[in-house]
Amino acid sequence: MKNVSFKIDGRECTTEKGQNLIEAAKQNGIFIPTLCHFKHLNPLGSCRVCTVKNNGRAIAGCTVKVDAGMDIEVNTKELLDNRKAILEMMFVEGNHFCPSCEKSGDCQMQNLGYETGIRYTRFPRLFVDRVVDARPERIVVNQNRCIKCKRCIEEIRTNDGHKVFSFTNRGNQTLVSVDYEQEAKLSEKQAEHAMRICPTGSILVKGKSFGKPFGNRQYDYAKKGNIPLDDIKKHNGTNRKKKRVATASLAGCFGCHMSMLDVDLGIMDLIDVVEFNKSPLTDIKHFEERCDIGLVEGGCCNTDNIEVLREFRKHCDILVSVGECAIWGGVPALRNTFPLEDCLKEAYIDSITSEDNETIIPNHEDIPKILDKVYSNHEVVKIDYHIPGCPPNANHIWNVVKNILFDEEYSITYPEFKYD
Amino acid sequence: MDRTHLLNKLWEHQNKDGFISDKAVSKISKELKVSNVEVESVVSFYHFFHKKPTGKHTIYLNNSIISEIKGFEDVKTALEKATGCTFGEEGNGDFSLFETSCIGLSDQEPAALINFQPFTDLTPRKVNLIIDKIKNGEDVKDFSSKTISKIQHIPEGDKAIIFRHYEMGKSIREGLKFTKQEIVDKISKSNLLGLGGAFFPVGYKWQSCKNNEDDEKFIICNADEGEPGTFKDRAVLQHVPGLVFEGMILASYATGAKEGIVYLRAEYQFFKDQLEALLQEFRDANLLGKNIQGVKGFDFDIRIQLGAGSYVCGAASALIESLEGRRGEPPVRMWSATKHGFKHKPTIVNNVETLAYASRIIELGEDHYLSMGTEGSPGTKLISISGDVAKPGIYEIEYGMPIRDLLTMEMSQATAPYFVQVSGPSGECVGPDEFHRRICQEDILCGGSFMVFNRTRDILQILRNYMEFFKEESCGVCTPCRAGNFILTEKVKKMQRGLGSLEDVDEIKQWGNIIKLSSRCGLGKSSPNSLIYAIDKFKDYFNVKIAPTNEFQNVEFDMEEAVQEFDTYIKDTQL
């Protein structure tokens, strides 16, 4: 095959004529992220993460065969944002609870989330009720996590050439369905292959998940360098010597507060420059003074959460959502795919610990009312910054705070930026 | 069994049993030597195939925006009352009710298909009469509606191209006077563009298919017009179907294809028998079959393939996938269809109207065609007008006619037009200050759908209907189209609830552009069009819809609404 030269973002590159663009870019040291492209498979063009521009025309990079003189754009501002947006669409379309996912840390989609620096999604989560199918012999298919990349559909076949997976339905109802009969014919090895090529945690082999401890997973430390972060809001207020910080935990588990204390001795340095006002750490119940920064853990599941959050917005110059629950609902939002009525029934009436013939659901004017779903904080008030993680890394939290308050240099390394 | 017969096989089961059972799926998959789930994936893609039993009478009520403004809700309620069934749920033994995307009867809305027989201009009263008749055991075929659309306008004098006297075989006899290359040249010279909505040069397609040497080639007529508001292909197929067949025969003559397929959308199967009868007439007159008109080796025949309910199959590449017995997903494009199309052979896919024009161009000569219209788009065009007009129907207009003229007393008699949707939801909407724009290549093209809405219509309702349509009809393969249209639908709903801020309006535009940039096929690339255009063009309307915001530019969170569900439920559970 003849070698041809072409350009990526203005850089001269060479490869064999007709080479797949993703591979050609790799040969030339340029990484084009993709979730559906897979080695020998025909280009699937389904995830669209690899969208590039070829001579000004937008096209999925995995479907481009390189030819001489091509002028490819990969990392322009528009395309980088587009790539991030598509990943965000995947996050909101499914129900991706990274903290409770077996594949977390080994998940290609999650890793791309890190690499593109997604802290929160611009789109609201859709919270569609989706099936977890454990009926197959060897595998479990969790539709909450499926991004419909088609890899398994094209790649996984039985020894006699039958497909095991296929799309069913269409539009926003599209699913990857399993053929139980064919699935049963898969060997353990073939089933594990299916799990491995799945870019998310949608296909799991029974008894083979949670195999690797934290720290040993593929994407725990994978990349050197920092997470691309932008649009951080600077605090330009008081000249007070000590800055005031307020914190609160709404529908959360206090884990993020625990994590804040995880800077160990660093907390001593912090005490010199900040003081805490309203916070569970000081047990100050009501704002006594205006604060420079408010750190809010947890989302809003009841009326009290809403009121506290509004107080915070009113009394804090900068408001930061800390942790997954605050950013999009997190674990409490697992209930968002069910009607409230079902949740209350399950908790108070039909639960195994409730008394026979129980009909009462606790309700009193002193008890906050439950909202129809768990809301993320930025659906309720304006949030200035989001710190992901479950819980977020302590350094991450304080780096952000110090940057906002003191304009200190700010960088978050790859291992400090996690969704779990 | 050959996989290209899969759709027919599935139709057999659907028609016989009212659904496609697991047993049937398993039987078919054995014959095809594929796994069950592969057949199921095809079944579940098309919305006229059912995996669960349906009643003896399946009723598909059109939920397009035109139907909605003409009384969809009342008719829906009346149908539910009269049949005792609920839409979208499993029916009883007698009836099953479903909503469906535009069925190509926009000039006669609300309309429904009952066992695929058309019932138009429905009212609650009419619904009761129909259901009574069905309950009395009458056959729906005997009292279905006449659907033939009125030809409301043709250019004056001898100018009409499509709707003029038709004589069977004339264009073929005329065409046989020329060499194959001359036929292609005439089509190229006429500058005829694909009239399904993509406006791809027809001559180029024909030439390319002709140039590709292969022993087998195909001519496919795309009769799967699904763009809401269009019904001009139905009009052509009901008024002058012969023209379409002759266009295919001429294409076959020029390229050497031996087989023609009309991919007829399932919604139009009520006139399939007439088309079959006409094909037989063509065969009897030696216009189809072997050695056509005595030309040795000129063999060509046409068969009709029924679709099964999918908008995206109107795109040529998806249509070929569907013909080959797969899901109608537009494939990743590696070749053009004229090189590797149906069964991987050179294939021409032309729209119904395009083929009709092709045969007229051969019959009347390209000069006649070129003498009309504008430089960029010569000739005439069929427009299907519906909505708030006194005279809905088919208009054959000379290219270059301003939108305003189409709305006048002499033409469609629109009443207080305010929002005109040109080319359907994937096209462009225009407001009164753009009614001077002309329908032609140089200004605004119209695929055929032309929907008029007056000042009393709610633009957000219109846009929501469009977005629900795309959300439902997306093939589901690529992320931006599948998830993005879903997300945008939710956003429009939020605006409708009065919770949209200025920021939301900007986001609709930004998000729409992301979907347009990165979607895989034309559906996703054009689905946010109307939304984006409407926001720019109807600023006055949107300004009123934008909710007041607080100092942080946030719409105040509505706590009352958020606890309503809790309050309602709690009320019933207290002592």
How far CA B522 is from CA of B138, B284, B302, B481, in Å, comes to 43, 40, 28, 10
A228 inside domain: no
**Close Cβ partners of A306 (under 8 Å, ≥ 6 residues apart):** A300, A371, A375, A380, B557, B559, B562
For the CA atoms of A390, A394, A397, A402, the dihedral, rounded to the nearest 10 degrees, stands at 180
How far CA B366 is from CA of A237, B191, B371, in Å, comes to 76, 9, 9
Q: At residue A220, does pLDDT exceed 90?
A: no
Same domain? A61 vs A29: yes
For residue B86, the one-letter residue type is T
Of residues B151, B109, B112, B197, the one with CA closest to residue B449: B197
ipTM: 0.92
Q: Which CATH superfamily is domain B57-143 in?
A: Glutaredoxin (3.40.30.10)
What pLDDT is recorded for position A360?
82
Nearest chain A residue (CA) to B41: A168
B474 touches chain A (CB under 8 A): yes
A340 inside domain: yes
Q: At residue B550, does pLDDT exceed 80?
A: no
pLDDT digits (tens, 9 = 90+) for B423-481: 999 999 999 999 999 999 999 999 999 999 999 999 999 999 999 999 999 999 999 99
Beta pairing class for B151-153 and B393-398: parallel
pLDDT digits (tens, 9 = 90+) for B499-539: 888 889 999 999 999 999 999 988 999 999 999 999 999 99
Interatomic CA distance for residues A66 and A7, integer angstroms: 10
Beta pairing class for B393-398 and B380-387: antiparallel
- Cβ distance of A46 and B520 shorter than 8 Å: yes
35-64 in chain B: CB under 8 A from chain A:
35-38, 40-41, 44-45
Q: At residue B386, does pLDDT exceed 90?
A: yes
What pLDDT is recorded for position B360?
93
Interatomic CA distance for residues A327 and A99, integer angstroms: 13
What pLDDT is recorded for position A175?
92
Which residues of chain B lie closer than 8 angstroms to A339, CB-CB?
Answer: 565
Chain B nearest CA to A125, separation (Å): 9
Which residues of chain A lie closer than 8 angstroms to B501, CB-CB?
Answer: none
**Close Cβ partners of B309 (under 8 Å, ≥ 6 residues apart):** B46, B47, B48, B49, B100, B265, B266, B267
Q: At residue B571, does pLDDT exceed 90?
A: no
Residue A21: CATH number of its domain:
3.10.20.740
Q: State percent of chain A over pLDDT 70.
A: 97
Q: In DSSP terms, which residues pair with A203 in a beta bridge?
A: A141
Asked which of A183, A205, A227 is the last residue of a domain, the reply is A205
Beta pairing class for B117-119 and B112-114: antiparallel
A417 touches chain B (CB under 8 A): no
Interatomic CA distance for residues A133 and A127, integer angstroms: 18
Residue B68 CB-half CA count within 13 A: 23
Chain B nearest CA to A135, separation (Å): 15
pLDDT band at B304 (very low <50, low <70, confident <90, very high): very high
Instruction: For helices B272-284 and B241-255, give the axis angle rounded to 10 degrees.
Output: 50
A407 inside domain: yes
pLDDT band at A239 (very low <50, low <70, confident <90, very high): low
Please give the mean pLDDT across all residues of chain B. 92
Same domain? A319 vs A272: yes
pLDDT digits (tens, 9 = 90+) for A250-269: 999 999 999 988 888 888 88
Residue B201 CB-half CA count within 13 A: 13
Q: At residue A271, does pLDDT exceed 90?
A: no
**Residue B419, phi-psi category: left (phi > 0), alpha (psi -120 to 50), beta (remainder):** beta
- Find the domain containing A288 and state its range: 243-416
Same domain? A402 vs A253: yes
Q: At residue A141, does pLDDT exceed 90?
A: yes
A356 inside domain: yes
pLDDT digits (tens, 9 = 90+) for B387-439: 999 999 999 999 999 999 999 988 889 889 999 999 999 999 999 999 999 99
What pLDDT is recorded for position A236?
67
Q: At residue A45, does pLDDT exceed 90?
A: no
Average pLDDT over residues B50-79: 93
Same domain? A160 vs A260: no
**Residue A396, phi-psi category: left (phi > 0), alpha (psi -120 to 50), beta (remainder):** alpha
What pLDDT is recorded for position A361?
85
A227 inside domain: no
A294 inside domain: yes
What pLDDT is recorded for position A108?
92
> What's the distance, CA B547 to chain centroid?
36
Considering only CA atoms, give the Rg of chain A: 24
Residue A97: CATH number of its domain:
3.30.70.20
CATH of B459-545, one of 1.20.1440.230, 3.40.710.10, 3.30.230.70, 1.10.260.40: 1.20.1440.230
Q: At residue B575, does pLDDT exceed 60?
A: no
A84 inside domain: no
Q: At residue A233, does pLDDT exceed 80?
A: no
Chain B nearest CA to A87, separation (Å): 9
Phi/psi of residue B374, each to 5°?
A: -110, 175
Q: Where are the alpha helices (DSSP H) in A1-107?
A: 21-27, 77-93
pLDDT digits (tens, 9 = 90+) for B156-168: 888 899 999 999 9
- Edge-first strand order for the sheet with A132-133 is A132-133, A139-142, A203-205
Q: At residue A300, does pLDDT exceed 70?
A: yes
Q: At residue A1, does pLDDT exceed 90?
A: no
- Cβ distance of B514 and A182 shorter than 8 Å: no
Window from B73-77, B138-142, B488-492 with minimum mean pLDDT: B138-142
What pLDDT is recorded for position B312?
92
B265 touches chain A (CB under 8 A): no
Same domain? A37 vs A104: no
Q: Are B271 and B118 in contact (CB under 8 A)?
A: no
Chain B nearest CA to A60, separation (Å): 7
**Residue B411 is encoded by which pair of tokens?**
């033409």
How far CA B236 is from CA of B241, B279, B445, in Å, comes to 6, 15, 20
- Name which of B473, B474, B479 to mutate to probe chain A: the one with the most chain A Cβ atoms within 10 A of its Cβ: B479
Interatomic CA distance for residues A294 and A285, integer angstroms: 14
For residue B20, the one-letter residue type is I
pLDDT digits (tens, 9 = 90+) for A62-115: 999 999 999 999 999 999 999 999 999 999 999 999 988 999 989 999 999 998
Q: Are A190 and A156 in contact (CB under 8 A)?
A: yes
289-308 in chain B: CB under 8 A from chain A:
none
- Cβ distance of B37 and A60 shorter than 8 Å: no
Chain A nearest CA to B495, separation (Å): 14
Interatomic CA distance for residues B522 and B474, integer angstroms: 10
Q: In DSSP terms, which residues pair with B201 in a beta bridge?
A: B193
Q: Are B404 and B417 in contact (CB under 8 A)?
A: no
Which residues of chain A lie closer than 8 angstroms to B562, CB-CB?
Answer: 306, 371-373, 375
Same domain? A145 vs A251: no
Query: Looking up tokens 């903290």, which residue turns up?
Result: A99
Q: Are A282 and A276 in contact (CB under 8 A)?
A: yes
Q: State percent of chain A over pLDDT 90.
A: 64
Q: In DSSP terms, which residues pair with A6 in a beta bridge?
A: A13
Same domain? A256 vs A390: yes
What pLDDT is recorded for position B245?
96
What pLDDT is recorded for position B488?
95
How far CA B373 is from CA of A20, A314, B368, B406, in Å, comes to 45, 64, 11, 15
Same domain? A405 vs A273: yes
> What are the residue ranges spanned by the domains of chain B?
3-43, 57-143, 153-370, 459-545
Same domain? A108 vs A46: no
Of residues A306, A319, A321, A102, the one with CA closest to residue B558: A306
More confident residue, B386 or A414: B386
What stretch of H or E contains A387? Answer: strand A385-387
What's the number of domains chain A is made of?
A: 3
Q: Which candidate from A58, A168, A303 shows the least CB-CB separation from B517?
A: A58
Which residues of chain B lie closer than 8 angstroms to A306, CB-CB?
Answer: 557, 559, 562
72-131 in chain A: CB under 8 A from chain B:
78, 82, 85-86, 89-90, 92-93, 122-124, 126
pTM: 0.94
Interatomic CA distance for residues A219 and A211, integer angstroms: 14
Same domain? A64 vs A127: no
Of residues A128, A126, A127, A24, the one with CA closest to residue A72: A24
* Rounded-to-5 percentages of helix, strand, coil across chain B: 45, 15, 40
Interatomic CA distance for residues A223 and A115, integer angstroms: 9
Q: At residue B57, does pLDDT exceed 60?
A: yes
Same domain? A61 vs A98: no
A222 inside domain: no
Please give the mean pLDDT across all residues of chain A. 89
Phi/psi of residue A368, each to 5°?
A: -65, 150
Residue length of chain A: 420
What pLDDT is recorded for position A269?
84
A179 touches chain B (CB under 8 A): yes
Q: At residue B265, does pLDDT exceed 90?
A: yes
- Cβ distance of B479 and A45 shorter than 8 Å: no
Class of domain B153-370: alpha beta
Q: In DSSP terms, which residues pair with B373 in a beta bridge?
A: B378
Phi/psi of residue B338, each to 5°?
A: -70, -10
Q: Are B102 and B468 in contact (CB under 8 A)?
A: no
**Residue B463 is encoded by which pair of tokens?**
């846009």
Q: At residue B76, does pLDDT exceed 80?
A: yes
